[in-house]
């Protein structure tokens, strides 16, 4: 028998058209040249893959290049697009945490992560969503390092660094996941609800590792879906050696719950004041 609470929960998750609504969260920092084309492509794909409805949430950290106002214009022009404007640039991790909180509060059934720079093919959203909605996964990872996955154009150095970083995290955490640092994912809402977002500490590559590790520890099913990771269309990457070092330093600390030792606690990330624009 389903309890009243479960009933309320499932109707809360149902969109206006009665389906379970996926949200795509797009973090942006200086993506003025990319955001419009990406939003258009995401809409085209999800109109097919999620005909009952979907939402796109752009999380912009006050980009100096005006990405935020372009996003506002898109939200005004199309239903189902929202923009979360954050006043402080804190890195990718905190932007996602803020976006996840907002999507969960809005009743998302599935929450998807995607770069807003053209390196993730919007068509792959359909396969990531299907892996969770229809394929028995609780978390689907777009994976460069399983059969069928690839990287279209990266220098040997970046390839080796990424590959090495994934191997390191895999070994240190004892996980059987090939691509631990990828940023193209689909979470069932339950996974994000079970992860204590307030204690997520990482900002860069480590953020991806941390969330997948926590999902696995909580007993959720994680599937890897092969993707091709491409070149960003315009602009430049926000990641840096500092962020790679953060990952090297933080990953071993994620083991066993990854609660920060007393005295090392930082304020929760993604809790900065934000302003919302809705389409």
Interface residues with ligand GDD (CB under 6 A) are 27-29, 31, 59-61, 89, 91-92, 95, 115-117, 119, 162, 181-183, 205, 208, 232, 237-239
Q: Does 117 bind Mn ion (CB under 5 A)?
A: yes
Shorter beta-carbon distance to Mn ion: residue 217 or 232: 232
17 touches 52 (CB < 8 A)? yes
Cα–Cα distance between 170 and 279 in angstroms, integer? 41
Shorter beta-carbon distance to ligand GDD: residue 53 or 185: 185
**Closest residue to ligand GDD: CB criterion:** 183
Q: Does 119 bind Mn ion (CB under 5 A)?
A: yes
Shorter beta-carbon distance to ligand GDD: residue 41 or 239: 239
Q: Which does 210 bind (CB under 5 to 8 A by kind): Mn ion, ligand GDD, none?
A: none
Site mask, Mn ion, residues 181-220, x = CB under 5 A? ----------------------------------------
227 touches 27 (CB < 8 A)? no
Q: Which does 205 bind (CB under 5 to 8 A by kind): Mn ion, ligand GDD, none?
A: ligand GDD
Shorter beta-carbon distance to ligand GDD: residue 130 or 239: 239
Shorter beta-carbon distance to Mn ion: residue 119 or 208: 119
- Where does this chain bind Mn ion (CB under 5 A)? 115, 117, 119, 232
């Amino acid at each position: 028998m389903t309890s009243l609470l479960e009933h309320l929960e499932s109707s809360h998750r149902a969109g206006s058209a009665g389906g379970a609504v996926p949200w795509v969260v797009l973090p942006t920092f200086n993506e003025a040249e990319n955001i419009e084309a990406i939003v258009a492509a995401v809409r085209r794909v999800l109109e097919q893959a999620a005909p009952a409805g979907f939402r796109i949430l752009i999380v912009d950290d006050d980009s100096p290049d005006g990405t935020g106002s372009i996003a506002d214009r898109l939200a005004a022009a199309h239903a189902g697009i929202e923009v979360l404007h954050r006043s402080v640039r804190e890195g990718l991790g905190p932007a996602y945490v803020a976006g996840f909180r907002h999507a969960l509060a809005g009743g998302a059934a599935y929450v998807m992560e995607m770069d807003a720079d053209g390196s993730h093919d919007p068509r792959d959203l359909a396969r990531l969503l299907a892996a969770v909605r229809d394929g028995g996964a609780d978390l689907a990872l777009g994976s460069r390092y399983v059969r069928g996955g690839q990287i279209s154009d990266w220098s040997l150095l970046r390839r080796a660094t990424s590959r090495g970083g994934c191997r390191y995290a895999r070994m240190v955490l004892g996980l059987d996941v090939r691509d631990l640092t990828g940023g193209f994912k689909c979470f069932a809402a339950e996974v994000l609800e079970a992860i204590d977002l307030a204690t997520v500490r990482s900002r860069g590559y480590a953020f991806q590792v941390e969330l997948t590790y926590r999902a696995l520890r909580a007993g959720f099913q994680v599937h890897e879906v092969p993707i091709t990771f491409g070149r960003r269309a315009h602009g430049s990457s926000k990641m840096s050696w500092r962020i790679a070092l953060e990952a090297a330093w933080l990953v071993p600390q994620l083991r066993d719950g990854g609660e920060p030792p007393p005295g090392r606690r930082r304020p929760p990330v993604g809790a900065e004041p934000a302003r919302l624009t809705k389409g």
